[in-house]
Structure 1
Amino acid sequence: MAAGSESEFKSAYAAAQAAEKEAGRLRNQWTVTETALTKAKEAAEKGNFYSATELAREAERLAKASIFQATSEREAWKALEIR
């Protein structure tokens, strides 16, 4: 697959949206993720699929980080519990 192709962007964008949906399910969506998704879509609309793909991949990384945060914090508070 050629770097910066439309199909590569669509794949990266779909992965980012799926990760962001999971973050939303965990009630831990980050605004920077939404910004990256918006910028990715704008770049794709202008035909700049290389930048759009990179922005979509960044959005996916951010969404996965928010998922990690939500799941780790779900258990971390137990370590701080006074016994």
Structure 2
Amino acid sequence: MKRTLALAMLLALGLVATARAATEADYKTAYTAAEAASKEAAGLRNQWTVTVSMLAAARKAADSGDFDRAIAAAKEAEALARASIFQATSEKEAWKAMEIR
């Protein structure tokens, strides 16, 4: 019983922490990470246009004061940039495994 109560309390505290409104500082942190990943992808010559669009959406949402939406867009942009980095690095070596027949 004590264990269940303790777990319920931890879950409740976790939900309270995630329910807080996003701030401009939270947005800037997420945007900076996304922008860095996007620049890395651009350096590999594999920056996806959808990443650039998502960064623009994040800026637009932040400009209107909707930091929750801005953070979500920034995190999606970072994920897209990381995927394009993975694609660029994996394809850089993948051609070596191909066999000419």
Taking structure 1 as the reference length, the TM-score comes to 0.94
1:30 aligns with 48
Contact 1:28 1:70 in 2 (8 A): yes
- 1:21-69 CA distance string (max 9 Å, x none): 0000000000000000000000000000000000000000000000000
2:74 aligns with 56
Which stretches of structure 1, 4 residues or more, deviate above 4 A after TM superposition? none
Give the drift of 1:82: 2.4
Report the 3-state secondary structure (helix = DSSP H, G, I; strand = E; otherwise coil) of the residue aligned with 1:29. Answer: coil
Report the count of equivalent residues: 83
| Root mean square deviation, CA, Å | 1.4
Question: Which runs of no fewer than 5 residues in structure 1 stay unpaired?
Answer: none
Give the drift of 1:81: 3.6
Question: Which runs of no fewer than 5 residues in structure 2 stay unpaired?
Answer: 1-16
Report 1 or 2 for greater relative contact order, CA contacts < 8 Å, sequence distance ≥ 6.
1
Taking structure 2 as the reference length, the TM-score comes to 0.78
The percentage of aligned residue pairs carrying the same residue is 60
